[in-house]
């Protein structure tokens, strides 16, 4: 039996375990990336490990999320990260150089390598045949220190693309179509490999849009073969030597195969507040639009921007729409400006934002109250834009332009003929905004610059054999990390200050939660299915841990979040019978006894002292996970010298 593409890379990097889906494996990690919103914490964690230098082939620290410097906090964090990078052997991508995933694809990613990043959209690297995964900051810190990355060995899904995209139908529509088919939890526990005749006509930026948005399926990662298209991209980046052809064996076996006919695909749109809430653009025709944002790690490549410029050329946007453009990188912006396309964009009435995440994470450009915002981004979770009652829709750049020009949701095919966009054979290479680290000889003299906003790391509680605690919060299905630990311009500067952040925990669901949890001292949270989907932010575990949450019980968990909970010493348990979710009420007193025995048996019975109900829960952990929970989190476990 042959191997799938991902299995080949896994096999080459396997440190422990066997490639049996559902079992724990660990992988050697070649490259890491961090961004600033999760990076400060990741580097604080790396520092506590006491190592002189990273052990990876390449580690890069990007500044792209917290670029709004409305106080000293973000600037201090940038300086901290820069000094850590210099000292410990990490490349530093300055603010303004671009969004981590776009820049990493352009300048550092290599087919066949493993990459983990403290950002859930790290799978973007799958667009050039990397095995690239999002992870919590602590897992990235451990990988920088040379430790393996532990995951549950995924199942293999294949998406076969047939035919060719029609004009105005794009890679983004393919992403939305697969979300429509599989839903935001359809990829949990799986790697999605893209193949079929249809991939030959997809460029690297288009493939990267698809692997980027595969994150919204809950997938471990998504990956394209490395072929002639990959080679041409790497050569255009002046990195032809990094090319390595890679594909699945013809007799590889997949757990699921889905076929998408590109010829039949139409422009699609995801409605508020979930990326899988997908309908055709045509079906929403005439809906008034207040704001349009083009950019983010999903759709900010030169290819996307050139299409946008060509469609806007000689036209003026609707007076009722505010249009923002954020190119994904300095390389994209430079080339856009050199060829004159930037002038076409600006002449249309668009606002140019810096090469950063910006509006995607609520870092400015929040919509007006109850505003309708069409975005080429990947997430439209409630409140994420920074405006609580905004309605955010996810679309392709073409559909975004159509709305900007007409002031309403419009099928882009009505714009007439799609102008031809020619990609240059060579990109402008200028890495001045990437600062290499100090040499091992001089690293000792580099001082770490710490600002006053960096507060001590909270300590986790070691799980004990029995727990009696109140159910402090009960939430529903598909709770995102944006619900648990919101982001946005006002909160993000405090990512290294857990006590301050804690005031906003679960703010989208229940503003009274932080006070209540603190008063209780220790507590339990109950959720529905796919609890913790979305971001890789470990703050969604660290902050509840700081507030005293000891256990989260859910119908099911998202991959990165469950790992972050265990790393933070919070025990994730699932209902044996999902209907039992209905039997638990907020404020009930819950008791778990014989926890250690339960861990060994894989099952434990929860006693609801308030109602008298007994509820069986799944409690299956690997030996390593049990040890982490008993030690009080991964940091404590690592310090114990494991
Ligand atoms: C996101 O898109 O939600 C973020 C902001 O990039 C996060 C990381 C974070 O919370 O800092 C992610 O996707 O992991
Ligand atoms: Fe940045 Fe948005 Fe991409 Fe997250 S999804 S990395 S916030 S652009």
Residues near 318 by Cβ (< 8 Å), separated by ≥ 6? 404, 405, 406, 407
Q: Does 549 fall in a domain?
A: yes
Per the listing, tokens 């332009």 go with: 401
The residue among 264, 299, 332 that closes a domain is 264
Residues 150 and 204 both lie in one domain: yes
- The structure's pTM equals 0.98
Per-residue pLDDT tens over the stretch 358-372: 999 999 999 999 999
Q: How far apart are CA 334 and CA 324, in angstroms?
A: 17
Residue at 439 is within a domain: no
Instruction: Tell me: pLDDT of 1 over 90.
Output: no
Beta bridge partners of 269: 279
Q: Could you say which of 378, 394, 415 is where a domain stops?
A: 415
User: Is the pLDDT at 254 greater than 80, yes or no?
Assistant: yes
Average pLDDT over every residue of 600-628: 97
- Ligand 2, residue 379: give the atom nearest the CA: 5
Judge whether 433 lies within some domain: no
For ligand 2, the distance from its centroid to the CA atom of residue 513, given in whole angstroms, is 27
On whether residue 459 sits in a domain, the answer given is no
Per-residue pLDDT, 385: 97
pLDDT at 10 over 90: yes
Q: What is the DSSP letter of 531?
A: B
Residue 155 has pLDDT above 80, yes or no: yes
pLDDT of residue 457: 81
pLDDT at residue 461 tops 70? yes
Q: How far is the CA of 535 from the centre of ligand 2 (A)?
A: 9
**Which residue is listed with tokens 């990007």?**
62
Please tell me the total number of residues recorded for the chain in this structure. 642
Number of domains within the chain: 3
Question: Atom of ligand 1 at shortest distance to CA of 118?
Answer: 14
pLDDT at residue 458, as a whole number: 86
Alpha carbon of 14 to ligand 1 centroid (Å): 27
Q: At what angle do helices 302-312 and 397-406 cross, to 10 degrees?
A: 30
Atom 3 of ligand 2 has which residue's CA nearest to it?
297
pLDDT tens column, 241-253 = 999 999 999 999 9
- List residues near ligand 2 (CB under 6 A): 65, 99, 119, 121, 296-297, 357, 360-361, 377-378
Q: Are 397 and 380 in contact (CB under 8 A)?
A: no
Average pLDDT on 440-463 reads 93
pLDDT of residue 642 exceeding 60? no
| Same-domain pairing of 64 and 152 | yes
Q: Which of 334-338, 340-344, 456-460, 489-493 has the lowest mean pLDDT?
A: 456-460
**Whether 178 and 206 share a structural domain:** yes
Q: What is the Å distance from ligand 1's center to 251 Cα? A: 37
Among 361, 381, 492, name the best residue to mutate to test ligand 2's pocket (greatest count of ligand atoms within 8 A of Cβ): 361
Residue 616 Cα to ligand 1 midpoint, Å, equals: 34
Q: Which residue, among 179, 218, 224, has the nearest Cα to 206 in the 3D structure?
A: 224
CA of 134 to the centre of ligand 1 (A): 10
pLDDT in tens, 400-420: 999 999 999 999 999 999 999
Query: Quick one: 478 and 619 in the same domain?
Result: yes
CATH number at residue 371: 3.30.499.10
| Confidence (pLDDT) at 33 | 99
Question: Among the residues of 339-380, which ranges form H helices?
Answer: 341-347
pLDDT at residue 214 tops 70: yes
Q: Is 117:140 a contact under the CB 8 Å cutoff?
A: yes
Is 220 a member of any domain?
Answer: yes
Q: What is the mean pLDDT of residues 570-597?
A: 98
Residues 9 and 95 placed together within one structural domain of the fold: yes
Residue 427 lies in a domain: no
- Which of these three, 264, 293, 324, is where a domain ends? 264
Averaged pLDDT of the chain: 97
**Residues 216 and 103 both lie in one domain:** yes
Q: Hey, what are 484's tokens? A: 């648990």
Residues 280 and 231 in one domain: no
**Strands (DSSP E) along 213-321, which ranges?**
221-223, 256-261, 268-270, 278-280, 291-294
Q: Are 159 and 5 in contact (CB under 8 A)?
A: no
User: Which pLDDT score is estimated for 130?
Assistant: 98
Judgement on whether residues 273 and 213 belong to the same structural domain of the protein: no
Residue 591: φ, ψ to 5°:
-130, 135
Angle between helices 100-107 and 204-213 (to 10 degrees): 140
297-329 pLDDT, tens digit per residue, is 999 999 999 999 999 999 999 999 999 999 999
Ligand 2 midpoint to CA 441 (Å): 36
Q: Which residue has the higher pLDDT, 237 or 635?
A: 237
- Choice from 363, 378, 560 to test ligand 2 binding pocket (greatest atom count within 8 A of CB): 378
Please choose, from the candidates 219, 5, 20, the residue with its C-alpha nearest in 3D space to the C-alpha of residue 133.
219
pLDDT tens track for 51-82? 999 999 999 999 999 999 999 999 999 999 99
- Say how far apart CA 92 and CA 436 lie, in whole Å: 6
Q: Which residue matches tokens 């919101």?
A: 486
Query: Is the same domain home to 281 and 411?
Result: yes
Q: What is the pLDDT of residue 527?
A: 98
Q: Does residue 452 sit within a domain?
A: no
Pocket of ligand 1 (CB under 6 A): 37-38, 65, 119-121, 134, 361, 379, 487, 534-537
Residue of the nearest CA to atom 9 in ligand 1? Answer: 537
Angle at 222 between CA 182 and CA 276, to 5 degrees: 30
- The residue range of the domain holding 392 is 268-415
Residues pairing with 98 in the sheet: 329
Q: Residue 337 has what pLDDT?
A: 98
Cα-to-centroid distance, 122 and ligand 2 (Å): 10
Ligand 2 pocket mutation, candidates 123, 275, 377, 492, criterion most atoms within 8 A of CB: 377
- 236/282 same-domain check: no
Closest CA to ligand 1's atom 1: 535
Helix-, strand-, coil-residue percentages of the chain, each rounded to 5: 35, 20, 45
Counting residues of the chain whose pLDDT is more than 70, the rounded percentage is 100
Tokens of 81: 């990260």
Q: Does residue 309 sit in the same domain as residue 218? A: no
Q: At 538, which CATH number? A: 3.20.19.10
β-pairing, 24-27 vs 91-93, is unpaired
- Domain check: are 485 and 390 in the same one? no
Q: Give a yes or no: residue 323 inside a domain.
A: yes
Q: How much distance in Å is there from the Cα of 594 to the middle of ligand 2?
A: 42
Instruction: Match 């804690």 to its residue by tokens.
Output: 502
Q: Which residues are CB-contacts of 179 (< 8 A; sequence separation ≥ 6)?
A: 186, 213, 216, 217, 270, 275, 276, 278
Instruction: Round to whole Å and give the CA distance between 376 and 400.
Output: 7
- Whole-number pLDDT of residue 641: 67
Alpha-carbon distance of 213 to 179, in angstroms, equals 9
């Amino acid at each position: 039996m042959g191997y799938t593409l991902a299995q080949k890379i896994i096999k080459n990097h396997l440190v422990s375990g066997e490639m049996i889906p559902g079992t724990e494996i660990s992988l050697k990690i070649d490259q890491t990336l961090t961004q600033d919103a999760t990076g400060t914490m990741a580097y604080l964690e790396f520092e506590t490990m006491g190592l002189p230098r990273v052990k990876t082939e390449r580690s890069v620290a990007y500044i792209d999320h917290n670029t709004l410097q409305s106080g000293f906090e973000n600037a201090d964090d940038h300086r901290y990260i820069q000094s850590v990078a210099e000292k410990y052997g990490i490349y530093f991508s300055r603010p303004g150089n671009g969004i981590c995933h776009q820049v990493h694809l352009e300048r550092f990613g290599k087919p066949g390598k493993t990459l983990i990043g403290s950002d859930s959209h790290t799978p973007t690297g799958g667009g050039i045949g990397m095995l690239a995964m999002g992870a919590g900051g602590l897992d990235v810190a451990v990988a920088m220190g040379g430790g393996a990355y532990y995951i549950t060995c995924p199942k293999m899904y294949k998406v076969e693309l047939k035919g060719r995209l029609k004009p105005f139908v794009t890679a983004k529509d393919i992403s939305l179509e697969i979300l429509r088919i599989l839903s935001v939890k359809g990829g949990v526990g799986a790697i999605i490999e893209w193949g079929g005749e249809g991939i030959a006509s997809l460029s690297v930026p288009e493939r990267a849009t698809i692997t980027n948005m595969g994150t919204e399926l809950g997938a471990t990662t998504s990956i394209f073969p490395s072929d002639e298209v990959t080679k041409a991209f790497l050569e255009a980046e002046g990195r032809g030597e990094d090319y390595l052809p890679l594909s699945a064996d013809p007799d590889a076996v997949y757990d699921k195969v889905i076929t998408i006919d590109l010829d039949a695909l139409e422009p699609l749109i995801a409605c508020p507040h979930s990326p899988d809430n997908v309908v055709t653009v045509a079906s929403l025709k005439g809906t008034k639009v207040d704001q349009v944002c083009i950019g983010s790690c999903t759709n900010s490549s030169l290819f996307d921007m050139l299409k946008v410029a060509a469609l806007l050329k000689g036209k003026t946007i609707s007076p009722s729409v505010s249009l923002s453009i954020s190119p994904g990188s300095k390389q994209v912006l430079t080339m856009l400006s050199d060829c004159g396309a930037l002038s076409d964009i600006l002449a249309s009435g668009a606002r140019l934002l810096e090469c950063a995440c910006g509006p995607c994470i609520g870092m400015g450009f929040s919509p007006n109250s109850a505003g309708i915002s069409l975005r080429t981004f990947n997430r439209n979770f409630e409140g994420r834009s920074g405006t609580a009652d905004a309605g955010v829709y996810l679309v392709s750049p073409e559909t975004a332009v159509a709305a900007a020009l007409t002031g309403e949701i419009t099928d882009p095919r009505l714009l007439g003929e799609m102008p031809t966009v020619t990609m240059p054979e060579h990109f402008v290479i200028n890495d001045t905004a990437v600062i290499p680290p100090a040499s091992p000889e001089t690293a000792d003299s580099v001082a770490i610059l710490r600002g006053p906003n960096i507060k001590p790391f909270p300590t986790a509680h070691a799980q004990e054999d029995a727990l009696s605690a109140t159910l402090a919060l009960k939430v529903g299905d598909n709770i995102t990390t944006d619900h648990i630990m919101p982001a946005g311009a006002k909160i993000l500067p405090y990512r290294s200050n857990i006590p301050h952040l804690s005031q906003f925990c679960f703010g989208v669901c229940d503003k009274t939660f932080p006070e209540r949890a603190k008063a209780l001292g220790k507590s339990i949270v109950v959720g529905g299915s796919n609890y913790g989907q979305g971001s890789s932010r470990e703050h969604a575990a660290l902050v509840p841990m700081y507030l005293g949450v000891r256990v989260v019980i859910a119908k099911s968990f998202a991959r990165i979040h469950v790992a972050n909970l265990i790393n933070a010493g919070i025990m994730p348990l699932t209902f044996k019978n999902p209907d039992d979710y209905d039997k638990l009420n907020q404020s009930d007193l819950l008791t778990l006894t014989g926890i250690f025995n339960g861990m060994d048996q894989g099952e434990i019975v929860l006693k609801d002292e308030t109602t008298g109900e007994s509820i069986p829960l799944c409690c299956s952990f690997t030996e390593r996970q049990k040890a982490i929970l008993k030690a009080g989190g991964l940091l404590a476990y690592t310090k114990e010298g494991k």
